[in-house]
Amino acid sequence: MRTGEIQRTTAETSVYVSLNLDGTGVYDVHTGIGFLDHMLEQLSRHSLIDMVVKVDGDLHIDQHHTTEDSGIAIGEAFKQALGDKRGITRYGTAYSPMDETLSRVSLDISGRPYLVWKASFTQPRLGEMDTELFDHWFHSFAVAAGITLHAECIYGQNNHHIIESLFKGLARALRQAVEVDPRKADSIPSTKGTLGDA
């Protein structure tokens, strides 16, 4: 089993994350932000990555640190679970429709973190979560995980549908990318021979 476990503690948050890339999508998520919990549950369920996320953050200030640090810790646990990335498919792309909304997420587990974000929202909050924090979570995750990540809402109107389709798209793209290719199970999918941090 490819697993990762991170305990990240700062003056702003205490975050515990454990992941199993070869799971069945079982989750136990408590960030203190209900809408973020809902999105991370979607991420786990649709990627089939078992996920425990526990965050004690400074929500009396705002949601920024909890959102950011959960993305960082999940990304670090993901990277840890992948190890040297031997045998993985590496690339993943998913189109995710949700009613009137269609999103596309493409990623490369490259060791070169980058986020392209093309989504906007017409309301400042969903539930109690600030919509401006969604791209910040994706950025924090991409940098910590070491992946190139392109997330785009192609079209859509309902704000809930837009962000949920992006999280589900991320889940399906990750599921595809971490799968072991049986034809290359013993090799690293790069002509460099490594998928490190370079």
Question: pLDDT tens, 106-137?
Answer: 999 999 999 999 999 999 999 999 999 999 99
- Using alpha carbons only, give the angle 95, 145, 6 rounded to the nearest 5 degrees: 125
CA distance linking residue 154 with residue 103, whole number of Å: 5
Between the CA of residue 29 and those of 36, 124, 166, 176, 177, what are the distances in Å?
Answer: 9, 24, 19, 23, 23
pTM greater than 0.85: yes
Of the candidate CATH numbers 3.40.190.10, 3.90.1150.10, 3.30.230.40, 1.10.357.10, the domain formed by 3-184 belongs to: 3.30.230.40
Residues 1-46: tens digit of each pLDDT = 899 999 999 999 999 999 999 999 999 999 999 999 999 999 999 9
CA distance linking residue 110 with residue 150, whole number of Å: 13
